[in-house]
Amino acid sequence: MASPDWGYDGENGPEHWCKLHPIANGNNQSPIDIKTSETKRDPSLKPLSISYNPATAKEIVNVGHSFHVNFEDSDNRSVLKGGPLPESYRLRQFHFHWGSTDDCGSEHLVDGATFSAELHLVHWNSAKYPSFADAASQADGLVVVGVLMKVGQANPNLQKVLDALKTVKTKNKKAPFTNFDPSVLLPSCPDYWAYFGSLTHPPLHESVTWIIFKETISVSAEQLAQFRSLLANAEGDKEVCIKQNYRPPQPLKGRTVKASF
């Protein structure tokens, strides 16, 4: 999904994405600031059922604006069900967003407060569509689980991922990344918010049911620095660190944010 016509600062930054991607000003854009007093408790929201098979973890890839940990998604070994979802959704990849300093980096805000980073686990509707590419632009195509990360103690569950970053230092590098169950990165409290939105970078498709956990996970300042050491350039080009890669919150435009709690 990466393309050279967008980035996170200067003339390619988020405020300019609408020139090439008019949907950037659409009615269902993400991320948002979750105003807790305006969320609506929905008793019909079931608990999430998450079943990830560590054997489906496949590779880690530097995509130039972040890194993705990709999963084998040709079958239903790693799936998300329950919650607001009518079907089961397959895990495709996870990635992170972070900021140039420890006091910013998350994409979603809660009551105006920003967090140090945010984990996104991207799933697609395999019950209805033949592939991730087919699902990515459809209104019921994707589910992204978001986990807000708060600077504090080091998170040992992140370490395997962070240790692999040195194998994909520059853009387009990929390396095997196997035997990992990303559910170890989820908070223990099952409470979440859900709303309909979009991908948070181009092509910005309005195709995402967002599930944002209420509880944060921890990440240390040293671990955040490891994210920022990743390079946006290809090997041999001038070194440019990925200092930040988050989109500011977008207007809610009348959407309802439901709460499971």
Over its length of 261 residues, how does the chain's per-residue pLDDT go in tens digits?
444 689 999 899 999 999 999 999 999 999 999 999 999 999 999 999 999 999 999 999 999 999 999 999 999 999 999 999 999 999 999 999 999 999 999 999 999 999 999 999 999 999 999 999 999 999 999 999 999 999 999 999 999 999 999 999 999 999 999 999 999 999 999 999 999 999 999 999 999 999 999 999 999 999 999 999 999 999 999 999 999 999 999 999 999 999 999
Residues assigned a catalytic role: 65
Contact between residue 72 and residue 179 where contact means Cβ atoms under 8 Å apart: no
* Contact present, 105 and 246 (Cβ < 8 Å): yes
Query: Residue 137 corresponds to which tokens in the numbers above?
Result: 């632009």
Q: Name the DSSP letter for residue 139.
A: T
pLDDT of 5 reads 82
Report the distance separating Cα 240 and Cα 243, nearest Å: 9
**Predicted confidence (pLDDT) per residue in 154-173, tens digit:** 999 999 999 999 999 999 99
Q: Where are the alpha helices (DSSP H) in 17-172?
A: 17-20, 132-135, 159-164
Q: Say how many C-beta atoms besides its own lie within 10 A of residue 42's C-beta.
A: 14
120 known ligand binder = yes
> Dihedral of the CA atoms 50, 86, 247, 33 (nearest 10)?
-100
pTM: 0.97
C-beta separation of 150 from 219 below 8 A: yes
Give the residues across from 98 on adjacent strands.
117
C-alpha distance from residue 61 to each of 48, 58, 119, 170 (Å): 28, 10, 16, 9
The response to whether 95 counts as a known ligand-binding position is: yes
Give the whole-angstrom CA distance, residue 144 versus residue 68. Answer: 14
Structure tokens at 37: 């007093």
Q: Read off the tokens for 45.
A: 């929201």
Q: Could you give all domains of the chain from N- to C-terminal order, each with its CATH number?
A: 10-259 (3.10.200.10)
Task: Determine if residue 200 is labeled as part of a ligand binding site.
Answer: yes
What φ, ψ does residue 165 adopt, rounded to 5°?
A: -60, -30
